[in-house]
Amino acid sequence: MPLITARDEVLGVYADAARRGWVVPCFGSENLTTSEAVLEAAARHAAALGIPDLPVTVAITAAYPHRSQAAFYTHTRDVALGLRLFLADLQALTAPGSPYARLRVLSHLDHAQHDRDRELLEHGDLGPWSSVMYDASTVPFADNIAATRRFVERRGRATVIEGACDEIVDSGDGGGDLTTPQRAQDFLAGTGVDLMVANLGTEHRASGADLRYRDDLARACAAAVGGRLVLHGCSSVPPAGLGGLFADGIRKVNIWTMLERDASPALLADLVENADLAAGTATTGQLQARGLLGSQAPTDRRAALSHFTTAHRQEVVHASMVATAMGFFRLWYR
């Protein structure tokens, strides 16, 4: 079915997921390969469950300074063009005739910045977005509430809005303040958002070695604001800690780093194992002479279309991302 963007229909998807005890995964994407991998994983899990219209969210950031995914969607590095390409791809992938047309697909504008993305947020077309995260988490709490409230008043009748109660920092930036139930309650009362990101101990782009997802805090916050919590920084939580998120009051989880982090080693291994097919005998010979490629690496076959094309490299990345995404679907859609 076409992208679900009408506010009441998007809220209906979340209400249905809650009735089934599902956490809705929201996967970040900065290229068509990632978007397709997410939908492919959803379709495979939908077939396994016998529920063809599983919901799945695909997200992208605009001018988010920590990672402008829209800029990476196009080699022009033009954010507005990247956003249009992302949405056009999703619209094509959900149109009749697509293998993914039976899924319920949501588009999410992630980490939209109250200052850098102001033009888009105040005057842009938010029609093709199922939900928008309004992120003013870097300004003082009272100012964050006031700015988010104004955005909800301006756009909240048409669009599902996710607010950022507290900042989720990048790995190594010092953790940030954890969300307390009182802060969560004040944020909800002051803004009227549909969903809210709370700082529950996770970090963006962290490996998880020193972090602990605070399930106790999640449950306390959920008791204060109801089932509307969103968890970011999911790649920093060991998978064993993610199975009980629904019971903790989490309704949406954002995932991106892990998709990319797991795909890169898969691509490296494939290129090394097929070094000659990918790069030809001259290059593999030079790499061996420099000690960068071992003696076991194949070096005597000619480079071949089967391995030196962008299509092949994307295929390896796609396969890895499908496997990673399916791990999350199995965890949360049962």
Q: Can you give the binding site for Zn ion, defined by CB under 5 A?
A: 232
Tell me whether residue 153 or residue 177 sits nearer to Zn ion (CB atom).
Answer: 177
Nearest to 259 by CA among 14, 64, 30: 30
Tell me whether residue 26 or residue 90 sits nearer to Zn ion (CB atom).
Answer: 26
Q: Shortest gap between Cβ of 258 and Zn ion (angstroms)?
A: 13
Maximum Cα interatomic distance, the chain, rounded to a whole number of Å: 68
Do 58 and 36 meet the contact criterion of CB atoms below 8 Å apart?
no
Q: Shortest gap between Cβ of 299 and Zn ion (angstroms)?
A: 43
* Token pair 């995260």 in the structure block, residue: 133
Tell me whether residue 99 or residue 172 sits nearer to Zn ion (CB atom).
Answer: 172
Q: State how far the Cα of 52 lies from the Cα of 313, in Å rounded to an integer.
A: 29
Residue positions counted in the chain: 334
Query: Which token pair is 330?
Result: 């199995």
Q: Shortest gap between Cβ of 95 and Zn ion (angstroms)?
A: 29
Tell me whether residue 236 or residue 299 sits nearer to Zn ion (CB atom).
Answer: 236
Query: Which token pair is 268?
Result: 């490296």
Q: Shortest gap between Cβ of 23 and Zn ion (angstroms)?
A: 16
Query: Which token pair is 196?
Result: 């809210």
> HSE of 166 in the Cβ direction (CA atoms, 13 Å)?
23
CA dihedral 271, 277, 279, 281 (to 10 degrees): 130
Tell me whether residue 38 or residue 103 sits nearer to Zn ion (CB atom).
Answer: 38
Residue nearest to Zn ion (CB): 232
Q: Shortest gap between Cβ of 252 and Zn ion (angstroms)?
A: 11
